[in-house]
Chain A
Amino acid sequence: MIAALESLVGRRRRRYRELEGLHEISQAFAAMTDMQETYGRLTRRIAELIGAEKCVISLYEPATRELVGQAPGYNVPDDLIRRFRYPVDALRTAFNFREGAIMVNRRPADFDLAQRAILEPFGVYNLTEAPLMLEGRFIGKVSIGNKPGGFSRTDVSLLAVFAAQAAIAVRNARVYTELQRLASGLEAKVRARTAELEATNRELADSHARLRELDELKSDFLGNVSHELRTPLAAIKGFVDNLLDGVKGPLPAPQRHYLVRMKDNVERLSRMVSDLLDLTRIEAGRIELVRQALDPAAALTEATEGLRPLARARDVRLALDVAPCPTLWADPDKIHQVLTNLLSNAVKFTPPGGEVTLLACPDPPDMVRLTVRDTGPGIPAAERERVFDKFYQVGRLDGDRPSGSGLGLTIARHLVELHGGRVWVEDGTAGGSTFVAVLPAAGEAGM
């Protein structure tokens, strides 16, 4: 009775240890990611649990149809395992090997000469093998050898369970190895690409620095040229002014007429030089806005006052129509330049007796609309965008040659856009043309 009970308890304990071992194996194997480590631990665990002396895992390589030993095994030299590489077909013949079948408890005596030649180096006296199956596919086998007294049925079923776990562990390790290979490939690619990008960045930085240098040179050059051009122009203008003002005595009318023409041309040349310089500075991004809250009514009034002499000379009336408006967030000097350019254009293209109207009104939600409307001939639809092009001159009604640089509207558009605004030409309601500039209101920034 007691003996029977002890035997039962002993079996239970063994069974418990087996289960514990299995659980440990399945946990460890599922987490295993390194191929070498996987084979080493798998074979040791299996051998220990079943009480076999040796254990080796071999995998099937579909490309060559070979079964290939995987080092390390348990109690089998690595070099032996590495040399183990046999065509499945040969094994099938030699061992009556069948994929998926378990081969139990064979003793060397059971093997023929050819078989012994394979097994001898391993020093095996008995052998049990179970296939590694994954989703119904044969991927290899696990072989255990040398259990004193032979393998029991329990050993065989344990081996079957191990084989199932081992198949998963092998799959995991393979996937992990493949992932690592891909990852390191990816890493190498990323490194290479990063190096390329860094090289490109360095090149860009270099060429950027060179461009900056060139830009500064160009800017200095322009500054010098501007000074060099302005100085003689100022001298010519000064001498002509002195003569016209009678500093050197009274002038006969024909000479005075010539001098007046000279003065007009010198002034035009001065304007062109300064427009050209402005445009170059704008295009080089060297214009900085000094923004402040600016009353649109004041800006329009100031621009109008500047243009009054020209308007009077051409018999053009200037009218101002300012609705209650938010203040602008703008550079007063630049806005003055914009308005002066738009206004002088309007005045020049308006026939005597005509009118130029300036309007200001809110452009919700956060812009202010400034409008310059004239009663001139208007601009054909096809030319409305082109008037903002550099050096574009609309033909004038009275046949006068253009008196400006052909840059005024280009500069105006650049300056408005620098403020984050827009400028365009609209159809005049009663003929003529209407230039509209929309500029940002001060909002909270200007408060």
Chain B
Amino acid sequence: MLSELSRPPGLVLVVDDEADLLEIVSDRLRGEGYRVETARDGVEALDRVREVRPDCIILDLKMPRLGGFEALAELRREAPAAYVIVLTGSPNRPLAEACRARGADDFLLKPFDPRELSRLTARAFHRG
């Protein structure tokens, strides 16, 4: 709680259809002092983005209803300033480039390394 007060009020939206992963990432980020919101798919993510205006979005690509890849461009329009980190289990150059073209800023490999999660999230809040 103390760390939360001492840090800049960063808001991270974590979007993933796996409840376990959502909990692991959220707990860890909250532990590091961020405020965290969650969504279970692209549709929910778009609703949340309009409500809460996150500074950083951690976005899974494969989800039911609306996947991260499909939701990317619209999320980007709704939150032009947010730093978007794409979560992917199968990294490849064409996919990475397509994601960047749609507005992704960075990539986090699944299964994720906790230190890498911390590093990328921190980078989202120390740009420029």
Residues of chain A touching chain B, judged by Cβ–Cβ distance below 8 Å, are 227, 230-235, 237-239, 241-242, 245-248, 270
> Does B4 sit within 8 A of A, measured CB to CB?
no
* Contact B18–A246 (Cβ < 8 Å): no
A270 CA to B24 CA in the complex, in Å?
A: 18
Chain B residues touching A, majority SS = helix
Measured between beta carbons, the chain A residues less than 8 angstroms from B28 are 241-242, 245, 247
**Interface assignment of B52: CB less than 8 Å from any CB of chain A:** no
Write the nearest CB–CB distance from A164 to chain B, whole angstroms.
87
Q: Is B27 on the interface with A (CB-CB < 8 A)?
A: yes
Smallest beta-carbon distance A384→chain B, Å: 36
Contact with A along B1-38 (1 / 0, CB 8 A): 00000000000000000101100110110010000000
CA distance A248 to B25 in the complex (A): 13
* Cβ of A273 to closest chain B Cβ, rounded Å: 11
Is B18 in contact with A247, judged by CB distance below 8 angstroms? no
B18 x A231 contact (CB < 8 A): yes
**Closest residue of A by beta carbon distance from B30:** A247
Scoring A232, A235, A270 by chain B CB atoms within 10 A of each residue's CB, the highest score goes to: A235
The CA-CA distance from A235 to B21 in the complex, in Å, is 6
* Identity of the chain B residue whose Cβ is nearest the Cβ of A226 in the assembled complex: B89
- Name the residue among B24, B27, B31 with the largest chain A CB count within 10 angstroms: B24
A238 nearest in chain B by CB position:
B24
Q: Is the CB of B24 within 8 A of A246?
A: no
Residues on B lying within 8 angstroms of A by beta carbon are 18, 20-21, 24-25, 27-28, 31, 89, 110-112, 114
Contacts A238-B20, A238-B111 aside, 16 further interface pairs with beta carbons under 8 A come to: A227-B89, A231-B18, A233-B111, A234-B111, A235-B18, A235-B21, A235-B24, A238-B24, A239-B20, A242-B27, A242-B31, A245-B28, A245-B31, A246-B31, A247-B28, A270-B111
User: Considering the chains assembled together, what is the distance between the CA atoms of A270 and B31 in angstroms?
Assistant: 26
Whether A239 lies near B111 (C-beta < 8 A) is no
Query: In the complex, what distance in Å separates the CA atom of A227 from the CA atom of B89?
Result: 9
- CB neighbours (8 Å) of A242 from chain B are 24, 27-28, 31, 114
Q: Could you say which residues of chain B place their CB within 8 Å of the CB of A246?
A: 31
Contacts of A234 on B, CB cut-off 8 Å?
21, 110-112
Please state if A235 and B20 are interface contacts (CB–CB under 8 Å): yes
Q: Which residues of A contact B111 (CB under 8 A)?
A: 230, 233-234, 237-238, 270
A405–B95 CA distance with the chains assembled, in angstroms = 31
How far, in angstroms, from A231 to B111 measured CA to CA in the complex?
Answer: 8
A223 CB → nearest B CB, Å: 10
Are A238 and B31 touching (Cβ within 8 A)?
no
* 17 A/B residue pairs, CB under 8 Å, sorted by A: A230-B111, A234-B112, A235-B18, A235-B20, A235-B24, A238-B20, A238-B21, A238-B24, A238-B25, A241-B24, A241-B28, A242-B24, A245-B31, A245-B114, A247-B27, A247-B28, A248-B27
Q: How far is the CB of A226 from chain B (nearest CB, A)?
A: 10
Nearest chain-B residue to A236 (Cβ)?
B20
Partner of A239, one of B18, B24, B110, B112: B24
